[in-house]
Amino acid sequence: MSRSRVGDRAVLLHLAVIAALFLVQFVVGDYQHLSLARVMVLAVYAVGYNILFGYTGLLSLGHAMFFAAGLYGAGLTATYLSFGVPAAFVAGIVSGLVLSAGIGLIALRTTGVAFMIVTMMFAQAGYLIVLYFGAFTRGDEGIVLTGDIRTAHLFGLTLDLTSATVRYNLALGLLAVAVLLSLALVRSPMGRVLVAIRENEERARMLGYDTFRAKLFALVVSGTFAATAGAAYGLMFAYVGATFASIQYSILPLLWVLLGGVGTVLGPLVGTLLMFYLVDFASGYTSAYMLVVGVALLGLVVWFPKGLLGTLREKRLPWLP
Amino acid sequence: MSDSKKNTTPPSSGITRRSALKGFAATGAAAAAAQVAPGAVRYVQAQTSEPLKLGFQVHRTGIGAAYGRWYERVVNACVAEINANGGIAGRQIEIVAEDDGTDPKRGAEMVEKFATQHGVDIAFGTLFSHVVMGSAPRAGELKLPYYVVSEGYHVASGALNRYTFQPGITDVRSQVMSMAPWVAGNLGKKVTMIYPDYAFGHDHRDYFSEAMKKQGGEIVELIPIPPTETSYTKYFPKIPSSTEVLYHVMVGPGVLTFVKELGEHFGSNRPELFGFIDSLEAVPLASPGLEFLEGTYFWEGYPRYAQPDQTPYDKHYRQAVGVNDDGASVNDPKDISTYSHMFGCWETLYTIKQAVEASGYKGPKDKAALVEATEAITDIPWSNQHPQGDKVFNGKMHQVFGHQNISQVANARLDVVHRTSIEDGMYENDTDYTKMPL
């Protein structure tokens, strides 16, 4: 099979998934409709995380700071500077971009376990900064976005963010962009370089690639995706709080990616979706639902060590990107 | 129905998500969807004999679990009592309890689940402020009447929406300011405050400082403690020697360490101590390390220990919930209740009963009437339904105001030394939810 046909098949699969998500909204009940919108926004976060972790091999334990940068970048500008939804959204994205570039310049001087610890430390500092500036952020309690900020005005269109339909389709649009950008990236020469770094950074460097620059690129893209998800989450669901800057929200994208398939474009979406429904389903039966999640993850390690799509790629679909 | 706009102005033409959903109803796909279809559909044919479904957002796990366990016991006891007495407007209550993990994201999901999957009439019970803040916007946008039991100032501050109420427990601003006259008059006017450095602590800092100044008092030092702190020794030297009263409010597992280290710092030569029982809810006062608190004072929303002048209402409430005169479970005297807060669930349920019956609520189409009936509540009498005390509900603020108690630790129990008036905790602000559209 030629490489282009393989590529076409991959593109078609991703487009089909997006189309399927579009159609799903017409058949699911209201709760699933609301939940899927939330899951898709969080999947953007996971897709971004996967670029750094899955494709570049850098395990960050501090991505909540980027998510929170987007969340607060959008929420604070909307609240205190009266930014409209589009401007606040862009402010959130820019916040994440600038922060990830700054953090990357420092943290990428480390590798392996040290990188994990440094990113976690930065994220913890970020969390405490949110609490420290409680006069503006209301700390752990957070800020509710109300009034005009629940309506977006863009290119003559007026979008009501309190509408479930609008939120669903905005989330889908965001996810589609994230997935297709991620697909384009991993199939681009830069994507190959990132994979080369993941597999053997020394060898990539010996081949003449500037691995620091490539890793910084990956971190900035990943952090910006996270911030985009954070900004969208805050604006769509009208709440901005410190919980989203806590360590828990650095671990979650890692679990989503592990569950769905490390280094697969659609794995983060699958993982986010499965984790949501696993928690939602298990919590209906037991308050020890996190134990159920833990057992599921153990099962994953045993039977799907590369995540669901990762294992599927290994055993059945070698063309899966 | 998830799309609030559609509720009031249904599209006149074109294919909407809703019409498409109907179109797919006969298909296998819709059959699967039907398992999770909103309960609202069923209410079209709802009979008044159908149970009134109340979504109980409970902190079974996470940081609020100790509170959540007791909130759930109180809710179960109260629902059993209401149902045994004929229910609400002749309808039995059906509780749909879901754990939100004390997490604002999950809390918002719970509210969505209540509204669209379980098809509840009303949601209630949320305690931790950040979960309320994360969940309330969804309740407002889904037009789901949402009665929180949080004591946060978030409702009365105007930050939330027309559908969110706090009728069963007073808010922290009211609690804090009502303490100031007694503290200034009996313990001293020079106060140092130690508080957690997040929103809950900041409310204490701001509103107690303001109230003390009105009493001619002075805050000589503010000592915020970062929430990640595990040892407090290094903060105590910051307490000025001129301090007459040390005001402390520490919440979380560090409280025993805090008290122990405070005792080691001061020894027998301590200033007067005034704290909030939030620190010691669900914690036995006889715990090792708490001896230092003997003779100090605490705010109590509702006195944990049965007092000599115990009302028949309190006796009734303790018996119904299964709490003994020491505020512990009758089944396990070591299992201490969250007595100062959990009554809020009991009183909220009776307020819901009052509002539902006053509004003639039959189903979701009557939600606006239910909101207005809740806003119309004013005076709440001291009774079996409201055992903590009489109260005044402010319909504009959606917040209730009531009495507070100041208790002294004596022989490892708490004895009430002062009960504030409702007026001590009253304040004015610009909040008027009644101006918001329904």
pLDDT at site A6: 57
Mean of all residue pLDDT scores within chain A: 92
pLDDT at site A193: 96
Residue B45's pLDDT band (boundaries 50, 70, 90)? very low
pLDDT digits (tens, 9 = 90+) for A138-182: 988 999 998 889 999 888 889 999 999 999 999 999 999 999 999
Interface test with B, best of A32, A34, A236, A290 (most B CBs within 10 A): A34
- Nearest alpha-carbon partner for A275 in A247, A303, A250, A254: A254
Judge whether residue B350 has pLDDT over 50.
yes
Q: Which of B6, B109, B115 has the CB atom closest to A38's CB atom?
A: B109
- % pLDDT > 70, chain A: 98
Judge whether residue B312 has pLDDT over 90.
yes
Q: What is the mean pLDDT of residues B328-351?
A: 96
pLDDT at site B207: 94
pLDDT at site B252: 65
For A:101-160, CB contacts with B below 8 A are: 124, 128, 131-132, 134-135, 138-146, 150, 160
In three-state secondary structure terms, B409 is strand
Residue B255's pLDDT band (boundaries 50, 70, 90)? confident
pLDDT at site B47: 47
- Side-chain-side CA neighbours of B149 within 13 Å: the count stands at 32
pLDDT digits (tens, 9 = 90+) for A276-296: 999 998 888 888 888 888 898
**Cα–Cα separations (whole angstroms), residue B374 to B318, B367, B380:** 27, 11, 12
Rg over CA atoms, chain B: 23
pLDDT at site B48: 59
pLDDT at site B241: 93
The pair of three-digit structure tokens given for residue B247, joined into one six-digit string:
């005001």
- % pLDDT > 90, chain A: 76
Choice among A282-291, B27-36, B76-85 with the minimum mean pLDDT: B27-36
pLDDT: is B44 or B203 the higher one?
Answer: B203
Pick the most confident of B106-115, B226-235, B246-255: B106-115
Please give the backbone phi and psi of residue B225, each rounded to the nearest 5 degrees, phi first: -110, 120
Q: What is the mean pLDDT of residues B229-244?
A: 92
- Nearest alpha-carbon partner for B435 in B396, B392, B394, B393: B396
Judge whether residue A4 has pLDDT over 60.
no
Judge whether residue B16 has pLDDT over 80.
no
Check if the beta carbon of residue B310 is closer than 8 Å to that of residue B417: no
Q: What is the mean pLDDT of residues A266-279?
A: 93
For residue B251, the distance in angstroms to the closest alpha carbon of chain A comes to 13
Q: What is the mean pLDDT of residues A109-129?
A: 94
Please give the backbone phi and psi of residue B231, each rounded to the nearest 5 degrees, phi first: -135, 140
Supply angle C-alpha B35, B40, B46, rounded to 5. 110
Q: What is the mean pLDDT of residues B33-55?
A: 58
Judge whether residue B30 has pLDDT over 80.
no
For residue A84, the distance in angstroms to the closest alpha carbon of chain B comes to 18
In three-state secondary structure terms, A277 is helix
pLDDT at site B13: 40
pLDDT: is B181 or A287 the higher one?
Answer: B181
Q: Where are the alpha helices (DSSP H) in B9-103?
A: 17-23, 28-34, 40-43, 65-84
Chain B touched by A162 (CB under 8 Å): yes
pLDDT digits (tens, 9 = 90+) for B139-172: 999 999 999 999 999 999 999 999 999 999 999 9
- Nearest alpha-carbon partner for B18 in B8, B31, B3, B32: B3
For residue A260, the distance in angstroms to the closest alpha carbon of chain B comes to 21
Choice among A89-93, A199-203, B9-13, B163-167 with the minimum mean pLDDT: B9-13
Q: What is the mean pLDDT of residues B360-389?
A: 96
Please give the backbone phi and psi of residue B399, each rounded to the nearest 5 degrees, phi first: -130, 140
- % pLDDT > 70, chain B: 88
Interface test with B, best of A42, A140, A256 (most B CBs within 10 A): A140
Give the whole-angstrom CA distance, residue B223 versus residue B220: 10
Give the whole-angstrom CA distance, residue A288 versus residue A94: 39
pLDDT digits (tens, 9 = 90+) for A29-69: 999 999 999 999 999 999 999 999 999 999 999 999 999 99
pLDDT: is B35 or A251 the higher one?
Answer: A251
Task: Give me the DSSP letters along B276-293.
Answer: EGGGGTTS-TTSTT-GGG
Judge whether residue B267 has pLDDT over 90.
no
Judge whether residue B8 has pLDDT over 50.
no
Residues of A in contact with B105 (CB under 8 A): 38, 243-244
Q: Which of B116, B160, B202 has the CB atom closest to A144's CB atom?
A: B160
For residue A241, the distance in angstroms to the closest alpha carbon of chain B comes to 7
- Name the amino acid, one letter, at A208: G
Give the whole-angstrom CA distance, residue B282 versus residue A19: 52
Bridge partners for B103 per DSSP = none
Q: pTM of the entire structure? A: 0.88
In three-state secondary structure terms, B380 is strand
